[in-house]
Amino acid sequence: MLSTFGFDSETEAVYLALLDNPTLEVAKLAELTQCERDAVQTAIDDLSRAALITNEDGRVSLVDPQVGLASLLARQQAAVANMQHQLEEGRMAMTRMLSKYGAKAPGDSGVEQLIGLKAIRARIAELAAACVEEQLILVPVGKLTPETFEEAQAVDEDVLKRGVRMKSVYLDAVRNDPYTMEALNWEIESGGEVRTAPSLPLRMIVFDRERAIIPIDDLDCEIGALVLGNRVIIQAMVALFINIWADAQPLTRRRPGRAEPLTAQEQHVLKLWAQGHTDASAARQMKVSHRTIRRLSEDLTKRLGARSRFQLGALASARGLICEADLI
């Protein structure tokens, strides 16, 4: 669960223990989690820096998960947005550099320039043939043409037959195009994983987390492309993909129904919970009965697919139903 935010298993174990026992001492946490005290102390320091717990005089207390996790999600979303901005700036800077000074050999700068669709397809085929573990793919299109799919199918088929993991994210709009759905279902049935998202920042393919290819111009991907090999840039692109993948929806043959909008009452109670109100204080604020608050909680939990109030807060934040301003 917390691995999504970059925490290790010991830190997650400590946090889960605090969910059941909101106030504990370090020694008791070590006993409950069966972790070494040093590992528990490191986990406490990490959780404290993330504002998920407080640590005073060796006594650890849980910050309300709806507040702590919502704030953590908001910070992570801001970091991802900043990463996307930096990645796009870097891509534009490299394009300007290569346009001015000409193509460089891959060994000179870790950047290789490809001109024309034929060169792009040939290089993708070479990189795919050399790929042994994983391909991460972002495709910001709402439909595939037969020519595009058939060209990629032969390459993808070889990759998947060799047991290489292939994860692809397309736009949600592909769900409305029958031909594209059939093409992507072929990919799924062949062993690939496909998800969709409302929007995508760029087109890219990452091979074995060592090489990546992106277009020079997003508006016309046939003009040319850049093959990147810089370790820091690749790490940033992988992190970007992981965050997009986590929020994307698995592709199925049926388009999921559109969720009904929240009522004003549902929105208000989510905001109160995000601010740390208990059910009792929320009922007083809204001038309704405890039974009404319980009903709202049950309805929201069911609609968002949550299994606990903790997860309800996380899902509400991830879907933009509560934002950082709601925590004040």
For 320, the token pair is 């933009």
- What is the model's pTM? 0.49
For residues 117 and 239, state if they share a domain: yes
For residues 72 and 40, state if they share a domain: no
For residues 324 and 221, state if they share a domain: no
Asked if residue 40 lies in contact with residue 14, where contact means CB atoms within 8 angstroms, the answer is yes
- Nearest Cα residue to 169 out of 199, 149, 132: 199
For residues 111 and 246, state if they share a domain: yes
Task: Find the Cα–Cα–Cα–Cα dihedral 254, 198, 154, 253, rounded to 10°.
Answer: 0
Give the domain CATH number at 36.
1.10.10.10
Total tally of structural domains belonging to the chain: 3
Point out the least confidently predicted range of 33-37, 44-48, 72-76, 221-225: 72-76
Residue 110 lies in domain: 103-250
Give the domain CATH number at 134.
3.30.870.10
Per-residue model confidence (pLDDT) at position 195: 92
Per-residue model confidence (pLDDT) at position 255: 43
Asked if residue 207 lies in contact with residue 76, where contact means CB atoms within 8 angstroms, the answer is no
pLDDT in tens, 53-111: 888 776 788 888 888 888 888 877 777 777 777 767 766 766 666 555 544 444 445 78
For residues 316 and 215, state if they share a domain: no
Question: How many other CB atoms are found less than 10 A from the CB of residue 97?
Answer: 14
For residues 6 and 34, state if they share a domain: yes
Residue that is last in its domain, among 197, 224, 250: 250
For residues 136 and 221, state if they share a domain: yes
For residues 167 and 151, state if they share a domain: yes
Question: How many other CB atoms are found less than 10 A from the CB of residue 173?
Answer: 14
Average pLDDT, the chain: 81
Per-residue model confidence (pLDDT) at position 258: 44
pLDDT in tens, 123-150: 999 999 999 999 999 998 888 888 888 8
For residues 219 and 115, state if they share a domain: yes
For residues 231 and 148, state if they share a domain: yes
For residues 196 and 171, state if they share a domain: yes
Residue that is last in its domain, among 195, 228, 250: 250
Distances (CA, A) of 244 to 138, 202, 216, 283: 9, 11, 21, 37
Q: Residue 56: how many CA atoms within 13 Å on its side-chain side?
A: 5
Residue that is last in its domain, among 219, 250, 281: 250
pLDDT in tens, 182-208: 999 999 988 999 998 888 888 999 999
For residues 21 and 45, state if they share a domain: yes
